[in-house]
């Protein structure tokens, strides 16, 4: 699947964009713990190249991102795109589909019951934004070092990297209770390598709420309307 992913990036122009993004990182004087890349993908085109990879992207996007992560790491090392990069864990890939299949199973319904959306795959949802919070910062990635000076992981290599994953809270990325796997000493964040991003909270509600605002209802059955909190990162 790595070979198919590379072929798709080459044919779709994604590889050229990736090289351009790498150049911006390489030319920057700032040090990064994590290098984040957004890759636009067309599920239909990938499915035509390889149905297995196409289904994997649609139904296991987090694991599929690891395939692209490996491909991008090899490309960076082979072409010497980012001199500062040391480990594959420093690469964060966000797969951004251009569309989803027009099938009911890919639509997240805010009014359907029960909510049987247990998988971490892509869904499409439409609704009305009734409230929006201010744009704030969150930690996309961070580097930690061992506090024991005699430990090999107290300096140098990027051994301990924390990267924000979809659905995770802030405490999953940055906490004070991480310990070294070698000597069990506490880990401390190297603040100069923290990578920040923007996030915004939106309250969304199903479009069917407009029927309730008409002042009457032809359906005599009881119903209730509940909002859904969406995190935009």
Q: Where are the domains of the chain?
A: 1-104, 138-196
Secondary-structure breakdown of the chain: helix, strand, coil percentages, each rounded to the nearest 5: 35, 25, 40
**Beta 160-163 vs 136-146: how paired, if at all?**
antiparallel
Average pLDDT, the chain: 88
CATH architecture of 1-104: 2-Layer Sandwich (3.30)
pLDDT mean over 25-32 = 85
C-beta separation of 141 from 197 below 8 A: no
Lowest mean pLDDT among 21-25, 54-58, 156-160: 156-160
Gap between the Cα atoms of 185 and 9, Å rounded: 42
Q: Which of 142, 126, 232 is nearest to 187 (CA)?
A: 142
Structure tokens at 186: 């506490």
C-beta separation of 155 from 145 below 8 A: yes
Question: Is pLDDT at 5 greater than 60 in this prediction?
Answer: yes
Per-residue b/e over 96-119, b at no fewer than 16 CB within 10 Å? ebeebeeeeebeeebeeeeeeeee
Q: Give me the pLDDT at residue 104, please.
A: 85
Q: What is the pTM of this model?
A: 0.84
154-195 pLDDT, tens digit each: 887 788 989 988 888 888 888 888 999 999 999 999 988 888
Lowest mean pLDDT among 76-80, 104-108, 204-208, 210-214: 210-214
| Residue 62, phi-psi category: left (phi > 0), alpha (psi -120 to 50), beta (remainder) | alpha
Q: Which of 104, 105, 112, 72 is nearest to 89 (CA)?
A: 72
Four-point Cα dihedral 61, 65, 67, 72, nearest 10: 160
């Amino acid at each position: 699947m790595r070979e198919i992913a590379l072929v798709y990036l080459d044919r779709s122009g994604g590889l050229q964009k990736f090289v351009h993004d790498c150049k911006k990182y390489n030319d920057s004087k700032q040090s990064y713990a994590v290098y984040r890349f957004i890759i636009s993908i067309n599920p239909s085109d990938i499915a035509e190249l390889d149905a297995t990879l196409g289904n994997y992207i649609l139904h296991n996007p987090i694991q599929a991102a690891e395939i692209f992560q490996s491909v991008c790491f090899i490309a960076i090392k082979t072409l010497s795109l980012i001199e500062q990069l040391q480990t594959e864990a420093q690469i964060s890939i966000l797969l951004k589909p251009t569309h989803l299949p027009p099938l009911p199973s890919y639509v997240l319904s805010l009014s359907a019951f029960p909510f049987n959306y247990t998988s971490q795959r892509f869904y499409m949802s439409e609704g009305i934004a009734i409230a929006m919070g201010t744009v704030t910062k969150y930690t996309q990635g961070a580097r930690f070092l061992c506090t024991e000076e005699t430990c090999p992981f107290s300096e140098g290599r990027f051994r301990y990297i924390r990267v924000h994953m979809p659905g995770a809270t802030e405490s999953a990325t940055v906490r004070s209770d991480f310990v070294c796997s070698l000597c069990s000493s506490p880990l401390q964040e190297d603040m100069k390598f923290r990578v920040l991003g923007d996030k915004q909270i939106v309250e969304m509600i199903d479009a069917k709420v407009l029927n309730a605002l008409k002042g009457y209802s032809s359906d005599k059955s009881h119903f209730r309307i509940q909002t859904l909190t969406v995190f935009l990162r």
